[in-house]
A and B are shown apart, each in its own frame.
Chain A
Amino acid sequence: MKSLIKYLFILCFGTMLQTAHAEVTFQGFASFVGGALLNEDDTQYLGYENRLEYDKNSLYALQASSDMGEGLTVTGQLIARGTENYKPEFEWLYVSKNLTPTLNAKMGRIRTPFYMFSEYLEVGYTYHWIRPPIELYASQVTNMDGISFLYNLPLGSIDSQWMLSIGNREGFSDDDGVIVSDYKPLVAFNGQFEMGAYTAKLIYTQGNLSVETEDINAAIALFTDAAFVSKHVSIDDAKITFTGAALDINLHPVKVLLEVSSIDFEDLVFLPDETRMLASVAYSLSDEFLVHYSFSTNTKESDSDLAAEATGDSNIPTVTNQALAAQTLASTDRDVTTHTIGMRYDFHNSAAFKMEVISTEDADIDTEATLLRFGVDMLF
Chain B
Amino acid sequence: MKVQTSIMMCFALLFLTTVSSHAELAVIVHPSNGAAMDKDAITRIFLGKSRAFPGGGESIPISFPEGTPESDEFSQNILGKTPKQLKAYWAKMIFTGKGTPPKQVPTAQEIVNLIANNPSFIGFVPSASVSGAVKVVGKF
Show the binding face of A for B, using Cβ within 8 Å.
25, 27, 29, 61, 63, 65, 67, 71, 75, 77, 92, 94, 96, 98, 101-102, 104, 106, 110-111, 119-120, 123, 125-126, 150, 152, 154, 157, 159, 161, 196, 250, 252, 287, 346, 349-350, 379
- List B contacts of A154 (CB < 8 A): 40, 44, 49-50
User: Is there an interface contact between B44 and A159, defined as CB atoms closer than 8 Å?
Assistant: yes
Interface residues of B (CB under 8 A from A): 40, 44, 49-52, 58-59, 67, 80, 82, 84-85, 87-88, 91-92, 94-98, 100
- Complex: how many Å from CA A349 to CA B44? 25
| Chain B residue contacts of A98, Cβ below 8 A | 51
Can you report 11 residue pairs joining A to B where beta carbons are below 8 Å apart? A29-B91, A101-B52, A101-B59, A106-B97, A125-B88, A152-B49, A152-B50, A161-B49, A196-B80, A252-B82, A349-B67
Establish whether residues B96 and A119, one from each chain, have CB atoms under 8 Å apart when the complex forms.
yes
Q: Assuming the A-B contacts A25-B100, A65-B100, are A126 and B91 also in contact, with contact meaning beta carbons closer than 8 angstroms in the complex?
A: yes
Q: Which residue of B lies closest to A77 (CB)?
A: B95
A252 CA to B51 CA, complexed, in Å: 28
CB distance from A380 to the nearest CB of B (A): 10
Asked, given contacts A29-B91, A126-B91, A196-B80, whether A159 binds B97 with beta carbons under 8 Å apart, the answer is no
Complex Cα spacing A379 to B95, Å: 11
- Residue of A at shortest CB range from B41? A154
Chain A residues whose C-beta falls within 8 Å of the C-beta of B59 in the assembled complex? 101
Q: Contact: B50 with A102, CB < 8 Å?
A: yes
Q: For residue A337, give the distance in angstroms from its CB to the closest CB of chain B.
A: 29
Within the assembled complex, what's the spacing in Å between the Cα atoms of A157 and B50? 14
**Residues B95 and A27 in contact, CB atoms below 8 Å apart:** yes
Instruction: Verify A125–B40 contact, CB threshold 8 A.
Output: no
Contacts of A106 in B (CB 8 A): 97
A102 touches B95 (CB 8 A): no
A120–B91 touching, CB < 8 Å: yes
User: Would B88 and A126 count as touching, CB distance under 8 A?
Assistant: yes
A94 touches B97 (CB 8 A): yes
Contact of B87 among A92, A157, A350 (CB under 8 A): A350
